[in-house]
Amino acid sequence: MNKALVIHLIQEQIRNQVLILALEKLGFDCTIYTLNISEIILTFMGFRNKTDDLYQQYFKLIERAVEETDYCNMDEKLREWSELIYSEMKSSSLNIH
């Protein structure tokens, strides 16, 4: 699958999570607006067997990215984190082709 597309999807998932958390801090319930594309991302990356451990690894990286991303540095951090997450997941020993 196209690496650029996967990296873009990861960026959008991080961006969505940052927005959701900001709105929740203001008191809004945003659970229905969560972007659920992790399965698609992992499939495009070549994972056939998507175990709970794989999802946990992925979401742990997403959470770290969200913690370090705010509106002042969003574009820069989105680029950095999406590349890092892509690389970490691709090099994962859980990646079974």
For 19-64, the pLDDT digits (tens) are: 999 999 999 999 888 889 999 999 999 999 999 999 999 999 999 9
CA atoms within 13 A on the CB side of 27: 0
Q: pTM (2 decimals)?
A: 0.89
| Structure tokens, 44 | 């495009």
